[in-house]
Amino acid sequence: MTWKEVFTSSVGKKLVMSFTGIFLILFLIVHVGLNACIWANDGGTMFNAGAHFMGNNVVPRILEIGLFAGLILHIVQGLMLELSNRSKRGSVGYAVSYSKGSKWYSRSMGLLGTIILLFLILHLYNFWLPNRANQGFLLGEEINLYAKMQDVFSNLWVVIIYVLGCISLGYHLAHGFQSAFRTIGVHNKRYNAIFTTLGYGFSVIVPLAFALMPLSFHFGWVN
């Protein structure tokens, strides 16, 4: 079997989704860890130090390229799979659709992913793009991201969109986390139970932590 055959088969495509998904989950851990620095309540000193490291060190910046590659692969492959899978029902669909037996969010990964994508575009536009532009997309001078956050999150609408984005992320993860491990072949009952529990925990805690940021700034829970 050639590599092309491996990755273009239905299982191979799923493996791509799984590997990139797990990679993005790891990224979320880094991201949420850094974000949590705002609650140091030191006027953003700690947060900005972390942000500076991520933005100004060559290692994370190279990893960033990988992150984008993974992200784009996950998005493109995901959308293509969704479209392809939808076409497999044939020309006539069901009059009464089957809703028992699976969770709504498991069936709506495409939709949730699309909402997350829209949120992501806004998010990049809010922070990443102005910062990198300021840096000349190299290792140049950064903007004060803490101050930028205070500015952006003063707008209630932005906060609402961010919270919605985080809720979508939560549900996306509720299915995606355990599904990713099933896809790479975890079939042992005990491990599956661990990954399922871990997945639910992750999908609640991490998005909640993310959502608390804009809320904290908007309602002045940090100073």
Partner 1 sequence: MEHKGINLTLKVWRQQNTNTAGEFVTYQVKDISQEMSFLEMFDVLNEQLIQEDKEPIAFDHDCREGICGMCSMYIDGKPHGPWQANTTCQLHMRAFNDGDTITVEPWRAQAFPVLKDLVVDRTSFDRIIQAGGYVSVNTGNAVDGNSLPINKNDADASFAAAMCIGCGACVAACKNSSAMLFLSAKVSHLALLPQGEPERQSRVMNMVAQMDKEGFGACTNTGACEATCPKEISLSNIARLNQEYLLASLTSN
Q: Site residues (CB under 8 A) for partner 1?
A: 1, 5-6, 9-15, 81, 84-90, 92-103, 106-107, 109, 175, 178-179, 182-189, 192
Strand ranges inside 19-155, DSSP E? none
Q: CB 143 → partner 1: shortest distance, Å?
A: 40
Q: CB 201 → partner 1: shortest distance, Å?
A: 19
Between 97 and 223, CB nearer to partner 1: 97
**What percentage of the chain's residues is helix, strand, coil (to nearest 5)?**
80, 0, 20
In contact, 24 and 70? CB cutoff 8 Å: yes
In contact, 180 and 22? CB cutoff 8 Å: yes
Q: CB 25 → partner 1: shortest distance, Å?
A: 16
Sign of the dihedral through C-alpha 211, 174, 9, 16: positive
Between 15 and 120, CB nearer to partner 1: 15
Q: CB 216 → partner 1: shortest distance, Å?
A: 35
Between 22 and 30, CB nearer to partner 1: 22
- The string of DSSP letters for 48-61 reads HHHHHHHHH-HHHH
